[in-house]
Chains A and B, each alone.
Chain A
Amino acid sequence: MTRRLLIGLYETEDDILAAAEAARLRGMKVVDVYSPYFVHGLERAMGLPPSKLPWVCFALGVSGAAFKVWFEYWTTASDWPVNVGGKPWNSLPAFVPITFEVMVLFAGLSTVFAFFLVSRLWPGRRAVALAPRTTDDRFGLVIEETAYFDAPAVRRFFEESRAVEICERMMEEAA
């Protein structure tokens, strides 16, 4: 089906915050907001849930550390034990530094890749150019036309909420 998206472009952080909040409270279907920087409070205005990525970070971090400590023990004390400076086969304290480093490495990289994955970011991906200048100095509020709020209603709302520019897009999308 095709979706009809209406985009209101705002100039200031205050306006977009107000508009987004208002639109949500009126029950409009806020598809997304495009902003040049992270606007604090906007997630509350849009009513977005917190991200789940911290769990990925935690899980991968822990498993990385666990793997490494096992690997160090296995290589040093089990697979090929060598007498090094009279140290015990299993020199656990000496294994700590690398374990820590590997934990950080796993946690960090995995989180970032998870982020790219869920946000569908990859090299060469075409940016959705719904609104111009949203990477520069404009805030774009994207509202989908619904049964209750037809295009004119939305336009009216945009004008009330001091949008500097209003445009429309048709979007083909497999529902």
Chain B
Amino acid sequence: MRADEPKRYWKSLAEREGGAAYSERAAAEFDETPFAAGPLGSRRSFLQAAGFSFAGALLAGCRRAPVEKAAPWLEQPEEIIAGRSYYYTSTCGACPAGCGLLVKTRDGRPIKLEGNPDHPLSRGGLCAVGQASILGLYDSLRPKQPLLRGRAVSWQEADREVLKALAEARRSGGAVRYLSGTLTSPSRLRMIRQLLSGLPDGRHVTYDTLPAAAVLDAHERTHGVRALPHYRFDRANVVASFDADFLGTWLSPVEFTAGYSQLRKPLEQSPQMSYHVQFEARLSLTGSKADRRIRIAPEELPWYLAQLCARLEVKAQRSSGARLESLPILDDVAERLWQARGRSLVVCGAEHLDAQLLANYANELLGNYGTTLDLRRPSLQRQARPGDFAELLDEIATGRIAVLFLDGVNPVYDLPDGEQLARRLRKLPLVVSLAERLDESAEAAAVVCPDQHYLECWGDAEPVRGLFGVQQPLIPPLRGRAALESLAIWAGAPKSAADIVRETWEREIFPRCKAKEESFERFWERVLHEGWVEAEIEHPGSAFNPAPAQAALHRVTKTAAAGLTLVAYPKIALLDGRHAYNPWLQELPDPITKATWDNYACLAPATARKLGLTDGDVVRLEAGPERAVELPVLVQPGQHDNVVAVALGYGGHLTRRFANLGPRWLGWRPSVNAGGCVGENIAPLLERDGGSLRWTRSGVRLVPTGKRHALAVTQDHHTLTVPPRLAAADRGRRPIIEETTLEAFRKDPRAGAQGHPPPAEDLWPRDHTFPGHRWMMVVDLTACTGCSACVIACQVENNVPAVGKDEVRRKREMHWIRIDRYYSGPLGDVDVAFQPMMCQHCEHAPCETVCPVLATVHSSEGLNQQIYNRCIGTRYCENNCPYKVRRFNWFDYARDDRLANMVLNPDVTVRSRGVMEKCTFCVQRIQEARLEARRRGEPLRDGEVQTACQQSCPAQAIVFGDANDPASKVSQLLKSGRAYRVLEEINVRPSVTYLRLVRNRREAEEEERHG
């Protein structure tokens, strides 16, 4: 591996064999067993040694670490230099979207996940969940050993148990079921097939907590292929989304955000941006970015789609005689879609077959198939067939299952009748769970063979047909055993995960790739280097059959919502709850509600007023007999009046671990509620028909309990308008966020400017010039979707602690970058503006002047530096910061989990009690890049320094660079007409510039909204 490469990837087996040579030496000298031992072949052992022997040495210091695998670093492996960061490609395993990763490892342990800029889907972005998933690797509560009926046993013993049961099933023809979520990993699927093939009655059943079955079925009907199209938002100039939160939680948010925002960055030279209309019941992240947002009850959704289709039919002269109701909005939308046919996109997120049929019809009429919807290379997520799952549940009920495998699913938690299911699972002869953590289902399983984290074992993924990503281990396993290996053992052919994955790729993928390389070795080398590869696919023909869609069009009638409708939705951070164990995600403020550590019943302001409820009032949600959950109310502007929206993924057993989180003192309150969990599980309120869960349920009752519950929200005041009676005449709205319409922007790039620039002349002599670099940041408010990936990225990069619900309630969250969210316009359908707010590194920093001990001073490159060990904690700087972006260490935040501490970034000081901290513009990254450039003997190139927030941003809304370099991207953007600075008039001269928020609207429209 050439040492002068900026980033270091795995290059070739040959090189690693070189490493192995070393490892054998090291092994021979000390301890043979780990390398010889067990089914894990020699490749595993070089993995341990070549890169990771040093990590072993590190881990040896740590009680919970696998000390027996540690080999002290006598000779430096030629690949690794201590204290330098190495980046390895991998594929994110946090959700099935399979985004490309660059894993930053330091001294043999992963410390940060970054998006792989070359990855065709994620394009360098990475969502909050993905960013945070690294903490799961160092989760000390993951079981280390298998559990046999709750008792920790050896792997041999566990395997014996499983193999016995399988043999029995093979003999007696007992049913063996393998239940998992949709798996996109070819290797995993191959091993499951291998395991089940040898059995008389073995079946692989999948079910998705976040399903897309309706989309699949609809396409089966209209296109004859049961496939989930690959939506191409990067090609869609007009997007009509029906309850699809594609920027937040739907299918592949990072990919969609990247594509979507690429068409929404209007420039002077090309003042273009896509048009996005959102029909939805609750205010989703996606809805908050829409140019036009129409509140509709879930029940009305199919009818709206039908009306849209009817209009499109007319335009396409293919009318099937559907009745047209007068709906000016839809006329407009239909017209826009039609104008952009072929470049438009209608997406529907509702699990409703008719709705999906109609969506397909609309796209067909618009000729979007093949352009903005790709059925040739469909997405392979969420492929579950509810029917199979229903069948399986019946089998479980009747108890005619010999062996049941649970892989990455938690039905006991997900299903309304979870307890009953748990009881039934306990009755089954053998239930084997491969859960990483002891969730509800694992607790009900007889045998738990904990799987490994995707960063410690081999794996692969095929999120979109023909697009393969590889996962490689980056640290010796800390916990559990790779599921691949378990499966191999149970299938009777023990093999290392590395071999299994290589085999899959050699046999199934390599042949399908018209690779330049002739030998697999070289191909594999390239794959590991790039992290992904695209393969040829045989394309199933799919002719469109309008009949079912037209049938739906005529079938669908206008149905009014009766009473309140419960809408269960996945939250940005927690999704379906699989990451509920993760304190970072629990503490990540929801982009819209700004609430942490809880789920709650969102009510529209009108509804709340009608029921006399305000934020924090606890209500009992009742759905059917003895199906009730108590939740605090949160009043959510922009939500439909007939809807009560509640987040999924809370109240799971995985959150019990937070019982003692946060600094303990007299006033401390636990982060968990009375039930011992964070939030409430609302599964009991949902109804299951057959194998699919309904995320909406009409006719729920809402009973005030009179109790109160203090929500931990990070933002109390939600608009830029001050309370009316406190506003002097016409000074109500503050020009913190400047926005304009596309129309106005076309006329005048500076349209919407409000702030007054400070006086140019200065009272003082210009003592301070910035001759070298001058670091500045530009944040595009139009592009920013508020997805909060940057918040977590910053938290991981800068060792920011999670402080717990009570501290957040006291407004002491520690995030260095926060996303301010402001509502505007009519309370019913509000406009939302997001503003990432971090230290503005003011040239005339008020915080610096007032610090008596010079603990915060200015660097010669324009950075506002905080010197922790000089800080005595007067908090004067915090008070004097107009942006209030400084964070104080009110306590010694506990860092007693030594395994969790492995995730800490060694380049960033861990702050102690009583000192101030804040965003540093990732000065450690600047330094790293600078040193790298110096080593190369070249000047620092633009874009070589990337702050953590910038790197992770899927929308690429953040640009950082040297303003002294006229060619740099930052300098270009600073000249933009949209550029403005917050609180410019107080002459603190911030180094962060914002690009005005542009909405694709007509000025008149804006007038009638806000005028």
Check: A37 CB closer than 8 A to any chain B CB: no
Report whether B768 and A82 are in contact in the complex, using a CB–CB cutoff of 8 Å: no
Convert A84-114 into 0s and 1s, putting 1 for each residue whose CB lies closer than 8 angstroms to a CB of B: 1111110000000000000000000000000
Report whether A86 and B860 are in contact in the complex, using a CB–CB cutoff of 8 Å: no
Tell me which of B465-473, B690-698, B844-852 binds A. B844-852
Report whether A84 and B848 are in contact in the complex, using a CB–CB cutoff of 8 Å: yes
Check: A119 CB closer than 8 A to any chain B CB: no
Task: Please name 16 pairs of A and B residues whose Cβ atoms are closer than 8 Å in the assembled complex, sorted by A.
Answer: A83-B857, A83-B858, A84-B848, A84-B849, A84-B854, A84-B857, A85-B842, A85-B847, A85-B849, A85-B858, A86-B768, A86-B843, A86-B989, A87-B764, A87-B849, A88-B764
Determine the distance from Cα of A116 to Cα of B767 in the docked complex, in whole angstroms: 48
Residues of A within 8 A of B842 (CB): 85
Most B CB contacts (10 A, CB to CB) among A82, A83, A87, A88 go to A83
User: Closest B-chain residue to A84, C-beta based?
Assistant: B848
Determine the distance from Cα of A83 to Cα of B842 in the docked complex, in whole angstroms: 12
Check: B765 CB closer than 8 A to any chain A CB: yes
Q: Which of B851, B854, B858, B859 contacts A86 (CB 8 A)?
A: B858
Binding site for A on B (CB under 8 A): 764-765, 767-768, 842-849, 851, 854, 857-860, 989
Determine the distance from Cα of A89 to Cα of B857 in the docked complex, in whole angstroms: 13
Residues of B within 8 A of A88 (CB): 764-765, 767
**Chain B proximity of A83: nearest CB distance (Å):** 4
Report whether B845 and A85 are in contact in the complex, using a CB–CB cutoff of 8 Å: yes
Report whether B764 and A86 are in contact in the complex, using a CB–CB cutoff of 8 Å: yes
User: Closest A-chain residue to B864, C-beta based?
Assistant: A85
Residues of A within 8 A of B858 (CB): 82-86
Residues of A within 8 A of B854 (CB): 82, 84
Residues of A within 8 A of B765 (CB): 88
Determine the distance from Cα of A83 to Cα of B843 in the docked complex, in whole angstroms: 10
Determine the distance from Cα of A72 to Cα of B130 in the docked complex, in whole angstroms: 52
User: Closest A-chain residue to B770, C-beta based?
Assistant: A83
Interface of B is mostly: loop
User: Closest B-chain residue to A94, C-beta based?
Assistant: B849
* Count of chain A residues near B, Cβ 8 A: 8
Report whether A82 and B857 are in contact in the complex, using a CB–CB cutoff of 8 Å: yes
Extra pairs beyond A82-B857, A82-B858, A84-B857 (10, CB < 8 Å): A83-B767, A84-B851, A84-B858, A85-B844, A85-B847, A85-B848, A85-B849, A86-B844, A87-B849, A88-B767
Most B CB contacts (10 A, CB to CB) among A82, A87, A89 go to A87
Residues of A within 8 A of B843 (CB): 86
Residues of B within 8 A of A83 (CB): 767-768, 848, 857-860
A-B pairs with beta carbons under 8 A, tally: 38
Residues of B within 8 A of A85 (CB): 842, 844-849, 858
Determine the distance from Cα of A19 to Cα of B858 in the docked complex, in whole angstroms: 74
Interface of A is mostly: loop
User: Closest B-chain residue to A91, C-beta based?
Assistant: B764
Determine the distance from Cα of A2 to Cα of B765 in the docked complex, in whole angstroms: 73
Determine the distance from Cα of A141 to Cα of B860 in the docked complex, in whole angstroms: 75
Binding site for B on A (CB under 8 A): 82-89
**Chain B proximity of A79: nearest CB distance (Å):** 12
Residues of B within 8 A of A86 (CB): 764, 768, 843-845, 858, 989
**Chain B proximity of A52: nearest CB distance (Å):** 39
Residues of A within 8 A of B768 (CB): 83, 86
Determine the distance from Cα of A67 to Cα of B765 in the docked complex, in whole angstroms: 25
**Chain A proximity of B330: nearest CB distance (Å):** 56
The 5 closest A-B pairs by CB, nearest first: A85-B849, A85-B848, A83-B858, A86-B844, A88-B767
Determine the distance from Cα of A87 to Cα of B988 in the docked complex, in whole angstroms: 12
**Chain A proximity of B681: nearest CB distance (Å):** 51
Most A CB contacts (10 A, CB to CB) among B843, B849, B851, B859 go to B849
Determine the distance from Cα of A84 to Cα of B867 in the docked complex, in whole angstroms: 13
Determine the distance from Cα of A21 to Cα of B369 in the docked complex, in whole angstroms: 122
Residues of A within 8 A of B849 (CB): 84-85, 87
Determine the distance from Cα of A16 to Cα of B651 in the docked complex, in whole angstroms: 94
Residues of B within 8 A of A89 (CB): 767
**Chain B proximity of A74: nearest CB distance (Å):** 15
Determine the distance from Cα of A5 to Cα of B847 in the docked complex, in whole angstroms: 70
Determine the distance from Cα of A87 to Cα of B764 in the docked complex, in whole angstroms: 7
**Chain A proximity of B862: nearest CB distance (Å):** 10
Determine the distance from Cα of A84 to Cα of B846 in the docked complex, in whole angstroms: 9
**Chain B proximity of A73: nearest CB distance (Å):** 14
Residues of B within 8 A of A84 (CB): 848-849, 851, 854, 857-858
**Chain A proximity of B854: nearest CB distance (Å):** 6
**Chain A proximity of B933: nearest CB distance (Å):** 24
Residues of A within 8 A of B857 (CB): 82-84
**Chain A proximity of B231: nearest CB distance (Å):** 49
User: Closest A-chain residue to B860, C-beta based?
Assistant: A83
User: Closest B-chain residue to A83, C-beta based?
Assistant: B858
User: Closest B-chain residue to A86, C-beta based?
Assistant: B844
Determine the distance from Cα of A88 to Cα of B768 in the docked complex, in whole angstroms: 8
**Chain A proximity of B698: nearest CB distance (Å):** 59
Residues of A within 8 A of B989 (CB): 86
User: Closest A-chain residue to B850, C-beta based?
Assistant: A85
User: Closest A-chain residue to B768, C-beta based?
Assistant: A83
Residues of A within 8 A of B847 (CB): 85
Determine the distance from Cα of A89 to Cα of B768 in the docked complex, in whole angstroms: 9
**Chain B proximity of A82: nearest CB distance (Å):** 5
Residues of A within 8 A of B845 (CB): 85-86
Determine the distance from Cα of A82 to Cα of B859 in the docked complex, in whole angstroms: 9
Residues of A within 8 A of B848 (CB): 83-85
Determine the distance from Cα of A82 to Cα of B854 in the docked complex, in whole angstroms: 8
**Chain A proximity of B263: nearest CB distance (Å):** 40
Residues of B within 8 A of A82 (CB): 854, 857-858
Residues of A within 8 A of B767 (CB): 83, 87-89
User: Closest A-chain residue to B857, C-beta based?
Assistant: A82
Determine the distance from Cα of A85 to Cα of B765 in the docked complex, in whole angstroms: 13
Most B CB contacts (10 A, CB to CB) among A82, A83, A85, A88 go to A85
Determine the distance from Cα of A87 to Cα of B842 in the docked complex, in whole angstroms: 12
Most A CB contacts (10 A, CB to CB) among B765, B842, B848 go to B848
User: Closest B-chain residue to A77, C-beta based?
Assistant: B767
Residues of B within 8 A of A87 (CB): 764, 767, 849
Determine the distance from Cα of A86 to Cα of B764 in the docked complex, in whole angstroms: 9
**Chain A proximity of B407: nearest CB distance (Å):** 58
Determine the distance from Cα of A13 to Cα of B846 in the docked complex, in whole angstroms: 62
User: Closest A-chain residue to B767, C-beta based?
Assistant: A88
Determine the distance from Cα of A144 to Cα of B842 in the docked complex, in whole angstroms: 78
**Chain A proximity of B612: nearest CB distance (Å):** 50
Most B CB contacts (10 A, CB to CB) among A82, A84, A86, A89 go to A86
Residues of A within 8 A of B859 (CB): 83
Determine the distance from Cα of A87 to Cα of B765 in the docked complex, in whole angstroms: 9
**Chain A proximity of B181: nearest CB distance (Å):** 54
User: Closest A-chain residue to B854, C-beta based?
Assistant: A82
Determine the distance from Cα of A84 to Cα of B848 in the docked complex, in whole angstroms: 5
Determine the distance from Cα of A82 to Cα of B844 in the docked complex, in whole angstroms: 13
Determine the distance from Cα of A88 to Cα of B847 in the docked complex, in whole angstroms: 16
Determine the distance from Cα of A89 to Cα of B854 in the docked complex, in whole angstroms: 14
**Chain B proximity of A75: nearest CB distance (Å):** 10
Determine the distance from Cα of A88 to Cα of B844 in the docked complex, in whole angstroms: 11
Determine the distance from Cα of A83 to Cα of B859 in the docked complex, in whole angstroms: 7
**Chain A proximity of B988: nearest CB distance (Å):** 9
**Chain A proximity of B277: nearest CB distance (Å):** 47
Determine the distance from Cα of A117 to Cα of B842 in the docked complex, in whole angstroms: 54
Determine the distance from Cα of A87 to Cα of B854 in the docked complex, in whole angstroms: 13
Residues of A within 8 A of B844 (CB): 85-86
**Chain A proximity of B425: nearest CB distance (Å):** 64
**Chain B proximity of A32: nearest CB distance (Å):** 51
**Chain B proximity of A175: nearest CB distance (Å):** 58
Determine the distance from Cα of A82 to Cα of B858 in the docked complex, in whole angstroms: 8
Determine the distance from Cα of A83 to Cα of B989 in the docked complex, in whole angstroms: 15
User: Closest B-chain residue to A80, C-beta based?
Assistant: B854
User: Closest A-chain residue to B845, C-beta based?
Assistant: A85
Determine the distance from Cα of A85 to Cα of B841 in the docked complex, in whole angstroms: 10
Determine the distance from Cα of A84 to Cα of B764 in the docked complex, in whole angstroms: 13
Determine the distance from Cα of A87 to Cα of B767 in the docked complex, in whole angstroms: 8
Determine the distance from Cα of A84 to Cα of B857 in the docked complex, in whole angstroms: 5
